[in-house]
Structure 1
Amino acid sequence: MRRILSFILVSVMSIGTIFNTAQATEYPLPPEGSRLIGENIIYKIPDDSTMDLETIAAKYKVGFYAMLQANPGIDAWLPKPGSEIIIPHQMLLPDTKREGIVVNLTEMRLFYFPKGQNKVIVYPIGIGLQGIDTPLMTTSISQKIPNPTWTPTPSIRKRYAAQGVTLPAVWPAGPDNPMGEFALRLAYGSGTYLIHGTNADFGIGLRVSSGCIRLRPDDIKALFGKVAKGERVQIISEAIKVSVEPDGRRYVEVHEPLSKREGEDTKTLPIPLNQSVKAFSTHPNTDTALFEEQYKRRSGLPTQVGRL
Protein backbone atom coordinates (compact mmCIF):
# COMPACT_ATOMS: atom_id res chain seq x y z
CA MET A 1 0.00 0.00 0.00
CA ARG A 2 2.97 2.32 0.53
CA ARG A 3 3.76 1.97 -3.16
CA ILE A 4 0.21 2.90 -4.09
CA LEU A 5 0.37 5.93 -1.82
CA SER A 6 3.64 7.13 -3.32
CA PHE A 7 1.97 6.91 -6.71
CA ILE A 8 -0.95 8.91 -5.38
CA LEU A 9 1.24 11.72 -4.10
CA VAL A 10 3.06 11.45 -7.60
CA SER A 11 19.19 26.69 14.24
CA VAL A 12 16.93 29.66 14.23
CA MET A 13 16.40 33.30 15.01
CA SER A 14 12.70 33.91 15.55
CA ILE A 15 11.05 37.31 15.53
CA GLY A 16 7.60 35.77 15.34
CA THR A 17 4.77 35.96 17.87
CA ILE A 18 4.02 32.26 18.08
CA PHE A 19 3.69 29.83 20.95
CA ASN A 20 5.54 26.75 19.69
CA THR A 21 6.98 25.80 16.32
CA ALA A 22 6.45 22.11 17.14
CA GLN A 23 2.71 22.62 17.45
CA ALA A 24 0.16 24.51 15.39
CA THR A 25 0.87 28.20 14.97
CA GLU A 26 -1.32 30.22 17.35
CA TYR A 27 -1.73 33.99 17.26
CA PRO A 28 -3.55 36.41 19.53
CA LEU A 29 -6.43 37.98 17.63
CA PRO A 30 -5.58 41.51 16.52
CA PRO A 31 -7.58 44.46 17.89
CA GLU A 32 -10.79 45.66 16.26
CA GLY A 33 -10.15 46.98 12.76
CA SER A 34 -6.87 45.10 12.36
CA ARG A 35 -6.19 41.98 10.29
CA LEU A 36 -2.40 41.67 10.58
CA ILE A 37 -1.06 38.79 12.70
CA GLY A 38 2.36 37.36 13.45
CA GLU A 39 5.85 38.14 12.23
CA ASN A 40 8.07 36.31 9.81
CA ILE A 41 11.04 34.20 10.87
CA ILE A 42 14.47 34.41 9.28
CA TYR A 43 16.04 30.95 9.11
CA LYS A 44 19.69 30.39 8.25
CA ILE A 45 20.40 27.07 6.55
CA PRO A 46 23.07 25.28 8.63
CA ASP A 47 26.41 24.73 6.90
CA ASP A 48 26.08 20.95 7.22
CA SER A 49 22.39 20.83 6.34
CA THR A 50 20.93 18.23 4.02
CA MET A 51 17.31 19.25 4.73
CA ASP A 52 14.93 19.93 1.88
CA LEU A 53 12.37 22.72 1.92
CA GLU A 54 9.51 20.41 2.96
CA THR A 55 11.39 19.36 6.09
CA ILE A 56 11.87 23.00 7.09
CA ALA A 57 8.25 23.82 6.21
CA ALA A 58 6.96 20.96 8.37
CA LYS A 59 9.14 22.04 11.29
CA TYR A 60 7.67 25.54 11.22
CA LYS A 61 4.09 24.52 10.40
CA VAL A 62 3.85 26.20 7.02
CA GLY A 63 2.94 24.89 3.58
CA PHE A 64 5.46 23.87 0.94
CA TYR A 65 4.27 26.28 -1.73
CA ALA A 66 4.05 29.17 0.74
CA MET A 67 7.78 28.65 1.31
CA LEU A 68 8.44 28.71 -2.43
CA GLN A 69 6.44 31.91 -2.94
CA ALA A 70 8.20 33.68 -0.08
CA ASN A 71 11.64 32.55 -1.29
CA PRO A 72 11.78 32.73 -5.09
CA GLY A 73 14.78 31.04 -6.64
CA ILE A 74 15.42 28.72 -3.71
CA ASP A 75 16.42 25.13 -4.43
CA ALA A 76 13.47 23.23 -2.96
CA TRP A 77 15.37 19.95 -2.62
CA LEU A 78 18.71 21.19 -1.29
CA PRO A 79 18.66 24.82 -0.10
CA LYS A 80 22.14 26.34 -0.17
CA PRO A 81 23.91 26.03 3.22
CA GLY A 82 24.49 29.41 4.84
CA SER A 83 21.67 31.11 2.96
CA GLU A 84 18.82 32.83 4.78
CA ILE A 85 15.18 32.11 3.97
CA ILE A 86 11.89 33.58 5.12
CA ILE A 87 9.48 31.44 7.13
CA PRO A 88 6.12 33.08 6.30
CA HIS A 89 4.49 33.39 9.71
CA GLN A 90 3.03 36.87 9.17
CA MET A 91 -0.30 37.13 7.35
CA LEU A 92 -3.57 38.99 7.02
CA LEU A 93 -6.69 37.32 8.35
CA PRO A 94 -9.32 36.61 5.66
CA ASP A 95 -11.92 39.33 5.31
CA THR A 96 -14.77 37.27 6.68
CA LYS A 97 -16.46 36.20 9.90
CA ARG A 98 -14.03 35.11 12.61
CA GLU A 99 -15.86 31.99 13.69
CA GLY A 100 -15.16 28.27 13.56
CA ILE A 101 -13.05 27.16 10.62
CA VAL A 102 -12.19 29.42 7.69
CA VAL A 103 -10.27 27.89 4.78
CA ASN A 104 -8.66 30.10 2.16
CA LEU A 105 -7.91 27.77 -0.74
CA THR A 106 -5.64 30.18 -2.60
CA GLU A 107 -3.20 30.59 0.28
CA MET A 108 -3.69 26.95 1.35
CA ARG A 109 -4.30 27.78 5.00
CA LEU A 110 -6.96 26.82 7.51
CA PHE A 111 -7.80 29.36 10.21
CA TYR A 112 -9.50 28.08 13.36
CA PHE A 113 -11.14 30.57 15.74
CA PRO A 114 -11.82 28.75 19.05
CA LYS A 115 -15.09 29.90 20.57
CA GLY A 116 -14.65 32.26 23.51
CA GLN A 117 -10.88 32.49 23.07
CA ASN A 118 -9.07 35.54 21.81
CA LYS A 119 -6.84 33.67 19.38
CA VAL A 120 -6.62 32.08 15.96
CA ILE A 121 -4.82 28.84 15.12
CA VAL A 122 -3.41 28.51 11.61
CA TYR A 123 -2.76 25.21 9.82
CA PRO A 124 -1.22 24.69 6.35
CA ILE A 125 -3.32 22.43 4.13
CA GLY A 126 -3.35 20.47 0.90
CA ILE A 127 -6.35 21.00 -1.39
CA GLY A 128 -8.00 19.56 -4.49
CA LEU A 129 -6.08 18.87 -7.66
CA GLN A 130 -6.66 20.98 -10.76
CA GLY A 131 -9.98 19.89 -12.20
CA ILE A 132 -11.00 18.29 -8.91
CA ASP A 133 -11.30 21.55 -7.05
CA THR A 134 -12.29 21.86 -3.42
CA PRO A 135 -15.62 23.74 -3.66
CA LEU A 136 -16.42 27.07 -2.04
CA MET A 137 -19.01 26.67 0.71
CA THR A 138 -20.38 27.76 4.05
CA THR A 139 -21.35 24.67 5.99
CA SER A 140 -20.62 22.87 9.27
CA ILE A 141 -18.95 19.77 10.67
CA SER A 142 -21.46 16.94 10.46
CA GLN A 143 -19.32 14.11 11.84
CA LYS A 144 -16.05 13.54 13.70
CA ILE A 145 -14.43 10.27 12.63
CA PRO A 146 -11.45 8.77 14.47
CA ASN A 147 -9.56 6.02 12.61
CA PRO A 148 -11.46 6.56 9.34
CA THR A 149 -11.67 4.05 6.53
CA TRP A 150 -11.48 5.29 2.95
CA THR A 151 -14.03 4.34 0.33
CA PRO A 152 -12.78 5.69 -3.00
CA THR A 153 -15.59 7.12 -5.15
CA PRO A 154 -16.16 5.67 -8.64
CA SER A 155 -14.50 8.71 -10.22
CA ILE A 156 -11.42 8.32 -8.03
CA ARG A 157 -11.20 4.60 -8.80
CA LYS A 158 -11.53 5.32 -12.51
CA ARG A 159 -8.83 7.98 -12.40
CA TYR A 160 -6.31 5.71 -10.71
CA ALA A 161 -7.26 2.75 -12.87
CA ALA A 162 -6.33 4.84 -15.91
CA GLN A 163 -2.86 5.19 -14.34
CA GLY A 164 -2.55 1.47 -13.70
CA VAL A 165 -3.47 1.59 -10.00
CA THR A 166 -6.27 -0.60 -8.68
CA LEU A 167 -7.65 0.80 -5.45
CA PRO A 168 -9.37 -1.45 -2.91
CA ALA A 169 -13.13 -1.01 -2.52
CA VAL A 170 -12.54 0.06 1.09
CA TRP A 171 -9.16 1.04 2.48
CA PRO A 172 -9.11 -0.08 6.14
CA ALA A 173 -8.19 2.19 9.03
CA GLY A 174 -4.58 2.03 10.09
CA PRO A 175 -1.14 3.53 9.47
CA ASP A 176 -1.35 3.01 5.70
CA ASN A 177 -4.69 4.80 5.29
CA PRO A 178 -4.28 7.90 3.07
CA MET A 179 -6.86 9.72 5.23
CA GLY A 180 -4.70 9.44 8.30
CA GLU A 181 -6.01 8.89 11.81
CA PHE A 182 -8.72 11.57 12.01
CA ALA A 183 -11.37 13.04 9.72
CA LEU A 184 -14.03 15.77 9.95
CA ARG A 185 -16.94 15.30 7.58
CA LEU A 186 -18.52 18.44 6.14
CA ALA A 187 -22.29 18.83 5.89
CA TYR A 188 -22.11 19.79 2.23
CA GLY A 189 -23.78 17.94 -0.60
CA SER A 190 -23.75 14.22 0.07
CA GLY A 191 -20.99 14.50 2.67
CA THR A 192 -18.13 13.45 0.41
CA TYR A 193 -15.86 16.33 1.43
CA LEU A 194 -13.75 16.00 4.55
CA ILE A 195 -10.96 17.67 6.46
CA HIS A 196 -8.57 14.83 7.22
CA GLY A 197 -5.00 13.77 7.83
CA THR A 198 -2.52 11.86 5.71
CA ASN A 199 0.13 9.18 6.06
CA ALA A 200 2.36 10.91 3.51
CA ASP A 201 5.46 12.99 4.14
CA PHE A 202 4.73 15.46 1.35
CA GLY A 203 1.82 17.41 -0.12
CA ILE A 204 0.80 19.98 2.49
CA GLY A 205 0.67 23.36 0.83
CA LEU A 206 0.03 21.81 -2.58
CA ARG A 207 -2.89 20.70 -4.76
CA VAL A 208 -2.81 16.99 -4.04
CA SER A 209 -6.24 15.73 -3.02
CA SER A 210 -9.45 14.61 -4.71
CA GLY A 211 -11.24 17.66 -3.31
CA CYS A 212 -10.82 17.11 0.43
CA ILE A 213 -8.72 19.30 2.71
CA ARG A 214 -5.61 17.57 3.98
CA LEU A 215 -3.55 18.36 7.11
CA ARG A 216 -0.32 16.97 8.51
CA PRO A 217 -0.88 14.20 11.11
CA ASP A 218 -0.10 16.30 14.20
CA ASP A 219 -2.24 19.17 12.94
CA ILE A 220 -5.37 17.14 12.24
CA LYS A 221 -4.98 15.43 15.62
CA ALA A 222 -4.87 18.83 17.35
CA LEU A 223 -7.74 20.28 15.32
CA PHE A 224 -9.85 17.15 15.80
CA GLY A 225 -9.50 17.51 19.55
CA LYS A 226 -10.58 21.16 19.55
CA VAL A 227 -13.55 21.39 17.19
CA ALA A 228 -17.09 20.25 17.91
CA LYS A 229 -19.74 18.71 15.72
CA GLY A 230 -21.88 21.48 14.24
CA GLU A 231 -19.13 24.11 14.16
CA ARG A 232 -19.21 26.52 11.26
CA VAL A 233 -16.91 25.92 8.28
CA GLN A 234 -16.41 28.45 5.50
CA ILE A 235 -14.26 27.80 2.43
CA ILE A 236 -13.25 30.83 0.36
CA SER A 237 -10.67 31.64 -2.30
CA GLU A 238 -8.97 35.03 -1.90
CA ALA A 239 -5.77 35.54 -3.87
CA ILE A 240 -5.46 39.16 -2.68
CA LYS A 241 -6.02 40.35 0.88
CA VAL A 242 -5.72 43.98 1.95
CA SER A 243 -5.89 45.79 5.26
CA VAL A 244 -5.80 49.34 6.57
CA GLU A 245 -4.49 48.96 10.09
CA PRO A 246 -5.66 51.15 12.98
CA ASP A 247 -2.40 53.13 12.84
CA GLY A 248 -2.94 53.86 9.13
CA ARG A 249 -0.48 51.35 7.69
CA ARG A 250 -1.76 49.83 4.47
CA TYR A 251 -0.95 46.21 3.65
CA VAL A 252 -1.49 43.96 0.67
CA GLU A 253 -0.87 40.19 0.57
CA VAL A 254 -0.92 38.57 -2.87
CA HIS A 255 -0.89 34.83 -3.57
CA GLU A 256 -0.72 33.07 -6.89
CA PRO A 257 -4.28 32.25 -8.03
CA LEU A 258 -5.41 28.68 -8.53
CA SER A 259 -5.11 27.58 -12.14
CA LYS A 260 -8.18 26.22 -13.88
CA ARG A 261 -6.54 24.67 -16.93
CA GLU A 262 -3.35 22.80 -17.69
CA GLY A 263 -0.47 25.05 -18.68
CA GLU A 264 -1.69 28.25 -17.02
CA ASP A 265 1.10 30.32 -15.47
CA THR A 266 -0.09 31.34 -12.01
CA LYS A 267 2.73 33.91 -11.83
CA THR A 268 1.09 35.93 -14.60
CA LEU A 269 -2.52 34.74 -14.51
CA PRO A 270 -4.84 37.76 -14.02
CA ILE A 271 -6.35 38.09 -10.55
CA PRO A 272 -9.80 39.72 -10.47
CA LEU A 273 -10.07 42.51 -7.90
CA ASN A 274 -13.23 42.70 -5.81
CA GLN A 275 -14.72 46.06 -4.88
CA SER A 276 -12.89 46.41 -1.57
CA VAL A 277 -9.51 45.62 -3.16
CA LYS A 278 -10.21 48.03 -6.04
CA ALA A 279 -11.08 50.78 -3.59
CA PHE A 280 -7.91 50.03 -1.61
CA SER A 281 -5.68 50.02 -4.70
CA THR A 282 -6.96 53.35 -6.01
CA HIS A 283 -7.12 55.16 -2.66
CA PRO A 284 -4.93 58.29 -2.46
CA ASN A 285 -3.06 56.80 0.50
CA THR A 286 -2.04 53.71 -1.47
CA ASP A 287 1.19 53.83 -3.44
CA THR A 288 -0.06 52.46 -6.75
CA ALA A 289 3.42 51.50 -7.95
CA LEU A 290 4.09 49.47 -4.80
CA PHE A 291 0.69 47.81 -5.06
CA GLU A 292 1.36 46.82 -8.68
CA GLU A 293 4.80 45.53 -7.73
CA GLN A 294 3.28 43.19 -5.14
CA TYR A 295 0.51 42.17 -7.54
CA LYS A 296 3.22 41.00 -9.95
CA ARG A 297 5.57 39.45 -7.39
CA ARG A 298 2.90 37.35 -5.58
CA SER A 299 5.08 36.52 -2.60
CA GLY A 300 2.24 35.64 -0.21
CA LEU A 301 3.77 38.07 2.31
CA PRO A 302 1.92 41.08 3.75
CA THR A 303 3.69 44.18 2.47
CA GLN A 304 3.18 47.84 3.29
CA VAL A 305 2.04 49.83 0.26
CA GLY A 306 0.98 53.07 1.91
CA ARG A 307 2.35 56.42 0.83
CA LEU A 308 4.99 57.76 3.22
Structure 2
Amino acid sequence: MSYRGRFAPSPTGHLHFGSLVAAVGSWLCARHAGGAWLLRVEDIDPPREMPGSAESILAALPAFGLLADAPPLFQSRRIAAYDAAFEQLRATGHVFPCWCSRNDLAGGLHLDGQCLAAPVEGRAPAWRLRVPDIEIGFVDGLQGPQIQSLRLAAGDFVIRRVEGYYAYQLACVVDDAFQGITQVVRGNDLLDSTPRQIFLQRCLGLPTPGYLHLPLALDGEGRKLSKSERAHPVDPTNPLPALRRALDFLDLPAHPGASDPASLLAHALAHFSPARLPHCSERAAA
Protein backbone atom coordinates (compact mmCIF):
# COMPACT_ATOMS: atom_id res chain seq x y z
CA MET A 1 0.00 0.00 0.00
CA SER A 2 1.31 3.46 -0.85
CA TYR A 3 1.96 5.95 1.93
CA ARG A 4 -1.12 7.58 3.46
CA GLY A 5 -0.67 10.02 6.34
CA ARG A 6 -3.06 12.29 8.18
CA PHE A 7 -3.47 15.31 10.42
CA ALA A 8 -6.28 14.89 12.94
CA PRO A 9 -6.96 17.99 15.05
CA SER A 10 -9.56 18.19 17.80
CA PRO A 11 -11.80 21.27 17.45
CA THR A 12 -11.08 22.66 20.90
CA GLY A 13 -9.71 26.00 19.66
CA HIS A 14 -8.14 27.72 16.70
CA LEU A 15 -4.99 26.43 15.01
CA HIS A 16 -2.05 27.21 17.32
CA PHE A 17 1.69 26.80 16.91
CA GLY A 18 1.88 23.31 18.40
CA SER A 19 -0.81 22.05 16.03
CA LEU A 20 0.89 23.78 13.12
CA VAL A 21 4.13 21.90 13.91
CA ALA A 22 2.23 18.59 13.88
CA ALA A 23 0.48 19.49 10.63
CA VAL A 24 3.71 20.56 8.92
CA GLY A 25 5.58 17.48 10.18
CA SER A 26 2.92 15.06 8.98
CA TRP A 27 2.60 16.88 5.62
CA LEU A 28 6.36 16.77 5.04
CA CYS A 29 6.54 13.03 5.86
CA ALA A 30 3.71 12.28 3.44
CA ARG A 31 5.09 14.40 0.62
CA HIS A 32 8.63 13.09 1.17
CA ALA A 33 7.27 9.54 0.70
CA GLY A 34 5.31 10.59 -2.39
CA GLY A 35 2.09 9.73 -0.59
CA ALA A 36 -1.28 11.21 0.32
CA TRP A 37 -1.97 13.60 3.20
CA LEU A 38 -5.48 13.42 4.66
CA LEU A 39 -7.44 15.38 7.25
CA ARG A 40 -9.68 14.15 10.04
CA VAL A 41 -11.62 16.29 12.50
CA GLU A 42 -11.84 14.48 15.84
CA ASP A 43 -15.11 16.03 16.97
CA ILE A 44 -16.59 13.33 19.21
CA ASP A 45 -16.18 15.08 22.57
CA PRO A 46 -18.80 17.86 22.52
CA PRO A 47 -18.11 19.17 26.06
CA ARG A 48 -14.52 20.05 25.06
CA GLU A 49 -15.25 21.49 21.62
CA MET A 50 -15.31 25.18 20.79
CA PRO A 51 -18.03 26.21 18.33
CA GLY A 52 -16.56 27.23 15.00
CA SER A 53 -13.07 25.88 15.68
CA ALA A 54 -13.29 22.99 13.19
CA GLU A 55 -14.16 25.43 10.42
CA SER A 56 -11.43 27.79 11.61
CA ILE A 57 -8.73 25.07 11.53
CA LEU A 58 -9.78 23.74 8.14
CA ALA A 59 -9.80 27.26 6.70
CA ALA A 60 -6.37 28.08 8.15
CA LEU A 61 -4.45 25.07 6.82
CA PRO A 62 -4.53 26.06 3.11
CA ALA A 63 -3.28 29.53 4.07
CA PHE A 64 -0.12 27.80 5.34
CA GLY A 65 0.23 25.84 2.09
CA LEU A 66 -1.06 22.60 3.64
CA LEU A 67 -3.48 21.20 1.08
CA ALA A 68 -5.10 17.82 1.71
CA ASP A 69 -5.66 15.18 -0.93
CA ALA A 70 -9.29 14.46 0.00
CA PRO A 71 -12.16 16.16 1.84
CA PRO A 72 -11.85 15.99 5.64
CA LEU A 73 -13.41 13.15 7.58
CA PHE A 74 -15.57 14.24 10.54
CA GLN A 75 -15.74 11.76 13.39
CA SER A 76 -19.13 13.11 14.47
CA ARG A 77 -20.51 11.56 11.27
CA ARG A 78 -18.93 8.16 11.95
CA ILE A 79 -20.89 7.00 15.01
CA ALA A 80 -22.35 4.01 13.16
CA ALA A 81 -18.82 2.74 12.48
CA TYR A 82 -17.90 3.06 16.16
CA ASP A 83 -21.14 1.32 17.12
CA ALA A 84 -20.20 -1.59 14.86
CA ALA A 85 -16.69 -1.83 16.32
CA PHE A 86 -18.10 -1.68 19.85
CA GLU A 87 -20.57 -4.48 19.10
CA GLN A 88 -17.73 -6.58 17.68
CA LEU A 89 -15.76 -6.09 20.89
CA ARG A 90 -18.80 -6.95 22.99
CA ALA A 91 -19.56 -10.08 20.95
CA THR A 92 -16.00 -11.32 21.41
CA GLY A 93 -15.95 -10.64 25.16
CA HIS A 94 -13.34 -7.90 25.01
CA VAL A 95 -15.42 -5.28 26.86
CA PHE A 96 -17.46 -5.12 30.04
CA PRO A 97 -19.83 -2.57 31.61
CA CYS A 98 -18.45 -0.67 34.57
CA TRP A 99 -20.13 1.48 37.22
CA CYS A 100 -16.91 2.09 39.20
CA SER A 101 -16.39 5.66 40.31
CA ARG A 102 -13.05 7.36 40.78
CA ASN A 103 -13.45 6.82 44.49
CA ASP A 104 -13.95 3.09 43.90
CA LEU A 105 -10.63 2.98 42.08
CA ALA A 106 -8.92 5.23 44.65
CA GLY A 107 -7.27 7.17 41.85
CA GLY A 108 -5.64 4.05 40.46
CA LEU A 109 -6.15 1.84 37.41
CA HIS A 110 -8.89 -0.68 36.81
CA LEU A 111 -7.06 -4.03 36.65
CA ASP A 112 -9.68 -6.70 37.34
CA GLY A 113 -11.32 -7.38 33.97
CA GLN A 114 -14.74 -6.92 35.57
CA CYS A 115 -16.59 -4.17 37.39
CA LEU A 116 -15.87 -3.88 41.10
CA ALA A 117 -19.09 -2.01 41.85
CA ALA A 118 -22.71 -3.12 41.74
CA PRO A 119 -24.83 -1.96 38.79
CA VAL A 120 -26.56 1.35 39.50
CA GLU A 121 -30.22 1.33 38.55
CA GLY A 122 -31.10 4.12 36.15
CA ARG A 123 -27.46 4.98 35.38
CA ALA A 124 -25.70 3.88 32.24
CA PRO A 125 -22.31 2.26 32.69
CA ALA A 126 -19.04 3.11 31.05
CA TRP A 127 -17.59 0.29 28.95
CA ARG A 128 -14.01 -0.82 29.47
CA LEU A 129 -11.69 -2.93 27.37
CA ARG A 130 -10.46 -6.03 29.16
CA VAL A 131 -6.66 -5.72 29.17
CA PRO A 132 -4.55 -8.84 29.77
CA ASP A 133 -1.10 -8.86 31.32
CA ILE A 134 0.86 -8.36 28.10
CA GLU A 135 3.63 -6.19 26.76
CA ILE A 136 3.08 -4.20 23.57
CA GLY A 137 6.18 -3.25 21.62
CA PHE A 138 6.71 -1.25 18.46
CA VAL A 139 9.45 0.76 16.80
CA ASP A 140 8.65 4.46 16.52
CA GLY A 141 9.99 6.08 13.38
CA LEU A 142 11.67 8.83 15.39
CA GLN A 143 11.70 7.80 19.05
CA GLY A 144 12.97 4.28 18.40
CA PRO A 145 11.98 0.99 20.11
CA GLN A 146 9.13 1.25 22.61
CA ILE A 147 7.65 -1.32 24.98
CA GLN A 148 4.83 -0.97 27.46
CA SER A 149 3.27 -3.28 30.02
CA LEU A 150 -0.24 -2.44 28.93
CA ARG A 151 -2.07 -3.66 32.01
CA LEU A 152 0.17 -1.74 34.40
CA ALA A 153 0.26 1.42 32.25
CA ALA A 154 -3.38 1.65 31.17
CA GLY A 155 -5.41 -0.99 32.98
CA ASP A 156 -8.89 -1.78 31.70
CA PHE A 157 -9.36 1.49 29.86
CA VAL A 158 -12.66 3.10 28.89
CA ILE A 159 -13.75 2.92 25.27
CA ARG A 160 -17.30 4.24 25.73
CA ARG A 161 -18.05 6.79 28.39
CA VAL A 162 -21.05 6.99 30.70
CA GLU A 163 -22.49 9.77 28.55
CA GLY A 164 -22.38 7.48 25.51
CA TYR A 165 -19.43 9.22 23.82
CA TYR A 166 -16.83 6.95 22.31
CA ALA A 167 -13.28 7.35 23.59
CA TYR A 168 -10.50 8.72 21.43
CA GLN A 169 -8.67 5.36 21.36
CA LEU A 170 -11.53 3.48 19.70
CA ALA A 171 -12.49 6.18 17.21
CA CYS A 172 -8.86 6.72 16.25
CA VAL A 173 -8.12 3.10 15.34
CA VAL A 174 -11.40 2.64 13.48
CA ASP A 175 -10.80 5.75 11.39
CA ASP A 176 -7.11 5.10 10.73
CA ALA A 177 -8.19 1.77 9.22
CA PHE A 178 -11.09 3.34 7.32
CA GLN A 179 -8.86 6.00 5.80
CA GLY A 180 -6.16 3.45 4.97
CA ILE A 181 -3.54 5.27 7.04
CA THR A 182 -0.13 3.63 6.72
CA GLN A 183 1.89 6.08 8.85
CA VAL A 184 0.69 8.09 11.85
CA VAL A 185 2.78 11.22 12.42
CA ARG A 186 1.68 13.16 15.51
CA GLY A 187 2.87 14.79 18.72
CA ASN A 188 4.92 12.99 21.34
CA ASP A 189 2.15 13.42 23.91
CA LEU A 190 0.34 10.52 22.20
CA LEU A 191 3.29 8.12 22.30
CA ASP A 192 1.90 6.56 25.49
CA SER A 193 -1.47 5.95 23.78
CA THR A 194 0.01 3.94 20.93
CA PRO A 195 0.17 0.55 22.73
CA ARG A 196 -3.53 0.90 23.60
CA GLN A 197 -4.32 1.55 19.98
CA ILE A 198 -2.20 -1.36 18.78
CA PHE A 199 -4.01 -3.68 21.21
CA LEU A 200 -7.39 -2.41 20.01
CA GLN A 201 -6.31 -2.99 16.41
CA ARG A 202 -5.51 -6.59 17.30
CA CYS A 203 -8.86 -7.06 19.04
CA LEU A 204 -10.72 -5.70 16.01
CA GLY A 205 -8.57 -7.38 13.36
CA LEU A 206 -7.43 -4.03 11.96
CA PRO A 207 -4.03 -3.27 10.41
CA THR A 208 -1.37 -1.50 12.48
CA PRO A 209 0.21 1.51 10.76
CA GLY A 210 3.69 2.79 11.39
CA TYR A 211 4.13 5.53 13.98
CA LEU A 212 6.36 8.57 14.25
CA HIS A 213 5.99 10.92 17.21
CA LEU A 214 7.22 14.48 16.83
CA PRO A 215 8.64 16.62 19.64
CA LEU A 216 6.09 18.87 21.32
CA ALA A 217 6.09 22.63 21.14
CA LEU A 218 6.23 23.79 24.76
CA ASP A 219 5.87 27.16 26.36
CA GLY A 220 8.59 28.75 28.50
CA GLU A 221 7.35 26.83 31.56
CA GLY A 222 7.54 23.45 29.82
CA ARG A 223 3.81 23.05 29.25
CA LYS A 224 2.31 21.68 26.05
CA LEU A 225 1.00 24.67 24.12
CA SER A 226 -2.50 23.29 23.72
CA LYS A 227 -2.83 23.31 27.52
CA SER A 228 -1.09 26.64 27.96
CA GLU A 229 -2.47 30.14 28.29
CA ARG A 230 0.14 31.10 25.71
CA ALA A 231 -1.30 28.87 22.98
CA HIS A 232 -2.32 31.86 20.90
CA PRO A 233 -3.75 31.11 17.45
CA VAL A 234 -1.41 31.42 14.50
CA ASP A 235 -2.44 34.07 11.99
CA PRO A 236 -3.55 32.64 8.62
CA THR A 237 -3.69 36.15 7.16
CA ASN A 238 0.09 36.44 7.74
CA PRO A 239 1.29 32.82 7.54
CA LEU A 240 4.99 33.19 6.81
CA PRO A 241 6.27 34.09 10.32
CA ALA A 242 4.56 31.12 12.03
CA LEU A 243 5.46 28.76 9.18
CA ARG A 244 9.13 29.78 9.40
CA ARG A 245 9.05 29.17 13.16
CA ALA A 246 7.48 25.72 12.63
CA LEU A 247 10.17 24.74 10.13
CA ASP A 248 12.88 26.02 12.45
CA PHE A 249 11.37 24.01 15.31
CA LEU A 250 11.67 20.91 13.10
CA ASP A 251 15.31 21.80 12.31
CA LEU A 252 14.53 22.53 8.68
CA PRO A 253 16.02 25.38 6.66
CA ALA A 254 13.59 28.13 5.72
CA HIS A 255 14.35 29.80 2.40
CA PRO A 256 15.12 33.43 3.30
CA GLY A 257 13.75 34.72 0.01
CA ALA A 258 10.50 32.74 -0.03
CA SER A 259 7.54 35.05 -0.43
CA ASP A 260 4.70 32.55 -0.02
CA PRO A 261 3.97 29.34 1.95
CA ALA A 262 4.14 27.05 -1.10
CA SER A 263 7.72 28.05 -1.96
CA LEU A 264 8.74 27.91 1.70
CA LEU A 265 7.40 24.37 2.03
CA ALA A 266 8.93 23.30 -1.28
CA HIS A 267 12.37 24.42 -0.11
CA ALA A 268 11.94 22.62 3.21
CA LEU A 269 10.75 19.44 1.47
CA ALA A 270 13.83 19.43 -0.77
CA HIS A 271 16.01 19.27 2.37
CA PHE A 272 13.74 17.00 4.42
CA SER A 273 14.44 13.57 5.86
CA PRO A 274 12.36 12.06 8.70
CA ALA A 275 15.55 10.71 10.28
CA ARG A 276 16.83 14.25 10.78
CA LEU A 277 13.84 15.45 12.78
CA PRO A 278 14.57 16.44 16.40
CA HIS A 279 13.67 13.88 19.02
CA CYS A 280 13.26 15.91 22.17
CA SER A 281 10.15 17.77 23.30
CA GLU A 282 12.05 20.00 25.74
CA ARG A 283 12.21 22.87 23.29
CA ALA A 284 10.33 25.99 24.28
CA ALA A 285 8.47 27.75 21.46
CA ALA A 286 9.26 31.41 21.08
Identify whether the pair has TM-score above 0.5, normalized to the shorter chain: no
- How high is the TM-score relative to the length of structure 1? 0.28
- How high is the TM-score relative to the length of structure 2? 0.30
Which of the pair is proportionally richer in strand? 1
RCO greater where, 1 or 2, for CA within 8 Å and sep 6 or more? 2
